[in-house]
Amino acid sequence: MPTYLERAIKDGHAKLTGEGRTEKITYIAVNHSERYNDPEEKVRAEFWAELIYRYNYDADCIGVEVVVPDRTPSDRADLVIFKDNTRKQPYAVIECKKDGISDAEFNQAVEQACGNGTWQKFRASYVMVAAGSTRRAFDFTGRYDVLEREQNIIADIPLRYGKPEEFKYFNKGQLDIKAVSKEELISAIKKCHQSLWEGGRRTPPEAFGELSKIIFVKISDEKSTKRGEPYQFQIKTHEKSEKLAARIRALYETQRQREPNVFTDTIKVDDAVLRTVVSHLEGINLNKTDLDTKGVAFEQFMDGFFKGDFGQYFTPREVIAFAVEMMRPTHDDLVLDPACGSGGFLLYALDAVRREAGEYYDEGTTDYDRHWHDFAQKRLFGIELNDSIARVAKMNMIVHDDGHTNVISVDSLQGMDKITAENRGFASNRFDIILTNPPFGAVVKQVEKPYLNQYDLDYDWKDGARSGKAKATVKTEILFLERCHQFLKPNGRMAIVLPDGILTNSSLQQVRDWMLEHYRLLAVVSLPQYSFAHYGAGVKASLVFLQKREAGETPNDDEAIFMAIAENIGYDATGRKTFKLVKKTETEDSKIEIMRCDLFDTEFVYKRDPLNPDEWIETHRQVLPDTGLATEYRKFTENPEPFFA
């Protein structure tokens, strides 16, 4: 579907000339040209065209770069809707800014727009600021003072000289909320997070936790609004911030009571900040935005969000994708990550089952949806100790069309009875697959965690039994090996990231002995030293693949183990991508690239950016089956002779 600007160019209201830095746009009716590669100009051009096609104003009644008479210092209004084509009497003044500006910059633009729109020799009835998808409109028809910025907020400027509507967006109405591109979604998420972060008043995880509640409300409102009715998650005409906030909080409380285990506390955001966040999200339809778009957008945002201090909660996606490709979870598997962080392993397992659904059913059918929705809601489980990060994981699952119910915030290493009491789905000997990257290096102290002596690995391990006194401290990754064994059913499989010290240090031989007595060691893939450096951790680690032994089963010296070293894992120490291009197919509007690293090949799908024809927008990516080390491993399982890749 063409954009408003594409329609305007086709209909002769505007034209583009030149290329690159010299490209210009000319607004034909007012004979005005501007440099088009300026991001603000692109926002203005698209909104100008929207005024013609959605708001129904005549092109020759819309001024561009209009001088505000006698203003000191002198100023120009980006767009002015005049009452007729003589362009003498202003009706609405619009200030346009590039997408992604800060709240402070947006508020500064509000003051500039209102200053121009209420200037005594340039008095307009309405004022608006448009910064990409974030917009705010004001009513200055006479009963509001020129300094009013709260009570005179309206849902939108009027359509063709009419009156402001009470609501802007209606389900299946004249203007509905819409699916968006990856770039638009990333921009909206970043703006929301920046607003909630409030310059450092909250930590990034706290800000993301509040965002997760608000997105929960947004998605719930989209699903519950009946055809023809206005969405409640939007700014209403002449509604104060406190009333809007009360409406959003009431929606949240209704949903929270329906699912009390999802979010346990209230929305803790100031009314004005909440209104700003609503303005960033109100025009986006998260439910209708393509799952691949949401997946790529949230993944890229989280990639930046979890660097540095919060890198412990984020596993690089290439590592996750490889682990999932090696394990290949199916619809029938019960899958667990007992240290799920932001939920990466869970989401990739869900995506694997979604692809599996496509092998059986046509996409969009009831059977297709049920295949992977049932898996998400009933067979996907996660535990995260940090409550704020657990909320991030839940929100991530909600955005990807559910699976949040079985993500809990508890200590994975405490007594199993306490975990089961939190959610009966978490039980011993239950799970088919575990995918996890447990915390490294931290120690659990006996004096702080009395449950420590319940673990065999809290004692010396000799001749298949524990002996001696309990240890005062044990590293978390060692305890996770035992806890995961308890969660797995016999013959259940696990992919786990372990520091190489577990595999090589002579002082940890007893741990290796315990591990080999309780697990069959299937494969070890050594990762580069820098694998986690980009996320604040420099520990050399490997991906270890294990299978729980059956009761009474003893180790066999003939058990074959797949060993491999991965040197190119798709990124370097700085996070720069290091995939190698294998194949590219390109048309005028789309492009597909096959990129390779040691772990697997990945297919990247792009479409051309309609607003910037020199740029490509990534719309989808997927690991190609039967490529890289995952294929070598499958060959090995069919003929398990000594092998090293």
**Residue 308 pLDDT > 60, yes or no?**
no
**Residue 369 pLDDT > 80, yes or no?**
yes
Whole-number pLDDT of residue 309: 55
Instruction: Report residue 260 as tokens.
Output: 């009390």
Percent of the chain at pLDDT > 90 equals 63
Q: Which amino acid is at 107?
A: N
Contact yes or no for 41/25 (Cβ under 8 A): yes
Q: Please, which pLDDT band fits residue 305 given cuts at 50, 70 and 90? A: low
Whole-number pLDDT of residue 471: 84
Residue in 99, 97, 60, 98 with CA at minimum distance from that of residue 80: 60
What's the whole-number average pLDDT of the chain? 90
Q: For the whole model, what pTM was predicted?
A: 0.81
Using CA atoms, how far apart are residues 625 and 631, in angstroms rounded to an integer?
8
Whole-number pLDDT of residue 80: 98
Q: What is the mean pLDDT of residues 274-285?
A: 96
Using CA atoms, how far apart are residues 154 and 603, in angstroms rounded to an integer?
45
Using CA atoms, how far apart are residues 599 and 587, in angstroms rounded to an integer?
29
Q: Is the bond into 73 cis (omega within 30 degrees of 0)?
A: yes
Which residues make Cβ contacts (< 8 Å) with residue 199, sequence separation at least 6? none
Whole-number pLDDT of residue 619: 78
Q: Please, which pLDDT band fits residue 306 given cuts at 50, 70 and 90? A: low
- pLDDT tens for each residue of 501-531: 999 999 999 999 999 999 999 999 999 999 9
Three-state secondary structure call for residue 645? coil
**Residue 292 pLDDT > 80, yes or no?**
no
Whole-number pLDDT of residue 609: 76
Q: What is the mean pLDDT of residues 263-282?
A: 92
Instruction: Report residue 531 as tokens.
Output: 């694998």
Q: Which amino acid is at 302?
A: M
Using CA atoms, how far apart are residues 488 and 494, in angstroms rounded to an integer?
8
String of DSSP letters for 328-378: ---TT--EEETT-TTSHHHHHHHHHHHHHHHHHS-TTSHHHHHHHHHHHHH
Q: Please, which pLDDT band fits residue 466 given cuts at 50, 70 and 90? A: confident
Whole-number pLDDT of residue 295: 76
What are 35's strand-pairing partners? 24
Contact yes or no for 606/617 (Cβ under 8 A): yes
Contact yes or no for 412/339 (Cβ under 8 A): yes
Please state, as a whole number, how many other Cβ atoms lie within 10 Å of the Cβ of residue 143: 9
Instruction: Report residue 126 as tokens.
Output: 């309405």
- pLDDT tens for each residue of 371-419: 998 999 899 999 999 887 887 888 788 877 666 779 999 999 999 999 9
- pLDDT tens for each residue of 152-198: 999 999 999 999 999 999 999 989 999 888 888 888 988 998 899 88
Whole-number pLDDT of residue 400: 77
